Structures are given as C-alpha cells and as structure tokens.
C-alpha cells in the first residue's frame, strides 16, 4: 500500500519497494516463529487448541532450535532493514536514519514479545492494537516515506484500512481459539468480551476498514478507475457472514486465509486504481 501510494505521486523506487517487501516478509516469519515458540514455552499451546498444530508443541522442532531461528531472523530483519534505510535515506538528514532504525528495532521487539518473554502483550488483549500500529500505520506511512521523504498524515486512512483488515485476521484466529485461550489464561479480546461481542467487533473492524479507504478515495477522487477496489468489498462481507454463522474451528480456519487474501486483493486493486 505504501509503495502504491508513492507510485501514485511519481516517487516510486524499485530497490526501496523490493527491500521493503523483503523486510516485511522476514518480520512476518519472525513473528510466526516467535508466536509458535512463545505459546509453547508459556503453556498456551495445549490439546485444547483446535487450530493447526504448532511446530514446537507438536514436537517437530525443539524450543531451543526455534529460539535459534528467532535469533537468526531477527538478525536478517536488521540486515535487510538497514540495507533498506541506507538506500532509501541516503539523501535524507542523518537523524531520519536513526529514527527509522529505532522504528525497525521496535518492529522486531513487537514481533517477538507478542507471545514470547516474561510479559507477552498478546496475552492481555493488546495484540489487536499492535497489529493496527505495525501492520497498518507504521507499514504504510513508513514505507511511503522511504519513497517520498514526506509525511502525509492523510495516508492514515488507507493505512488504517490495511491495519484493520490485518486485525480482522487476528480476530478470526482468536475467535477460533476462544475456549482454549480462556482455559490457559490468554486474555485476547474475544476472551474478554465473549464470542457474540467478538463477532460484532469483527463487523466493526471490516466496516470501519472499508469506510476509511472510501473516505480517502472520495477526498482524492480523480477518475472512476480509482474505485475498482470496491470489487474486493464483497469478499469482506462474505468473511463477516461466515464468522457470524460458523462455530467449529475447522470451519473458521479457511476464513483466516480468505481474509488475508482478500486484503491482498484489496491492496492490489487499490494500487492499480492509483497508478492508472
């Protein structure tokens, strides 16, 4: 999204885009590894969990080897991130580099401490806020700045859409695991507010996400091609209806993937609309 928005202003850089995507993928893998490790060593992965089996809990990999993988991917994220900043900010003031390096380190820490460490913030219901911040605001505004060297706070609207749709993926996961999370003391938002309100919360996430990008597009309307992202909206409605209706974990699992792919399609369509 950040790269597409930069392209829309004619300030796109392929090296910056490639390294942004690479760094993001490494951070996502790091987050998944840390989540697998943290839930296992903290006793949150039990036989009560209904989703796909995790690597450490199922014995496919030891906790020690997973920790080693976390360290390796933390280093890779730093290498990729510093390379990105070196290229993107070579003509920017020196303090800008250090600010972004601090943001990058915060991303790594957030990815690890979601479920790992002594006080994982994911166990007290703060995961949704973290996803909104890092998958939405930091990801979109940060990557856009690396292309343009300009802070455009109006981009908080499409950035919020990305972040909210990512929160939607997490919320489906937490609704699926609500019983096992409650039993093991993992106080996600669905555990705190109950399944019925978690479904209402899910609809709020989807609707506000769609509203944010619609308002942004209305403010910057240039041609009808910029509206093609609306083609992705029925997929979000389909997701909300499924989460409202289905109760079994095996039935909810496919909609984690569906929500993620719908978000990807939304961003691609939005980007095509901007570039055209």
Show the 3-state SS of 143-174: HHHHHHCCCCHHHHHHHHHHHHHHHHHHHHHH
Specify the 3-state DSSP secondary structure of 114.
coil
Write the CB contacts of 205 (distance below 8 Å, at least 6 apart in sequence).
164, 165, 167, 168, 171
Angle at 267 between CA 266 and CA 268, to 5 degrees: 95
Report pTM: 0.92
Write the CB contacts of 225 (distance below 8 Å, at least 6 apart in sequence).
272, 273, 276
The structure tokens listed for 198 are: 């978690």
The closest of 272, 214, 213, 207 to 239, measured between CA atoms, is 207
Give pLDDT tens digits along the chain (276 positions): 999 999 999 999 999 999 999 999 999 999 999 989 988 888 777 666 666 677 888 888 999 999 999 999 999 999 999 999 999 999 888 899 999 999 999 999 999 999 887 889 989 999 999 999 999 999 999 999 999 999 999 999 999 999 999 999 999 999 999 988 898 888 999 999 999 999 999 999 999 999 999 999 999 998 899 999 999 999 999 999 999 999 888 899 999 999 999 999 999 999 999 988
The closest of 210, 231, 103 to 165, measured between CA atoms, is 210
């Amino acid at each position: 999204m950040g790269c597409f928005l930069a392209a829309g202003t004619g300030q796109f850089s392929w090296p910056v885009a490639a390294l942004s995507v690479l760094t993001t993928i490494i951070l996502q893998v790091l987050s998944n590894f840390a989540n697998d490790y943290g839930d296992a060593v903290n006793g949150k992965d039990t036989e009560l969990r209904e989703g796909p089996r995790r690597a450490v809990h199922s014995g496919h990999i030891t906790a020690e080897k997973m920790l080693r993988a976390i360290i390796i991917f933390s280093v890779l994220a730093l290498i990729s991130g510093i390379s990105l900043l070196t290229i993107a900010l070579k003509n920017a003031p020196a303090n800008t580099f250090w600010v972004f390096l601090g943001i990058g380190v915060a991303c790594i820490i957030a990815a690890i401490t979601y479920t790992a460490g002594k006080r994982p913030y994911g166990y007290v219901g703060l995961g949704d806020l973290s996803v909104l911040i890092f998958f939405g605001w930091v990801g979109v505004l940060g990557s856009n700045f690396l292309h343009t060297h300009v802070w455009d706070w109006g981009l908080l609207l499409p950035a919020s859409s990305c972040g909210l749709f990512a929160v939607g993926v997490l919320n489906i996961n937490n609704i699926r695991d609500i019983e096992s999370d409650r039993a093991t003391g993992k106080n996600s938002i669905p555990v705190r507010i109950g399944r019925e309100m978690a479904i209402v919360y899910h609809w709020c996430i989807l609707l506000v996400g769609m509203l944010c990008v619609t308002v942004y597009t209305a403010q910057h309307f240039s041609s009808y091609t910029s509206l093609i992202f609306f083609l992705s909206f029925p997929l979000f409605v389909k997701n909300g209806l499924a989460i409202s209706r289905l109760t079994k974990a095996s039935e909810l699992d496919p909609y984690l993937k569906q929500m993620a792919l719908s978000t990807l399609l939304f961003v691609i369509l939005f980007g095509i609309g901007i570039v055209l």
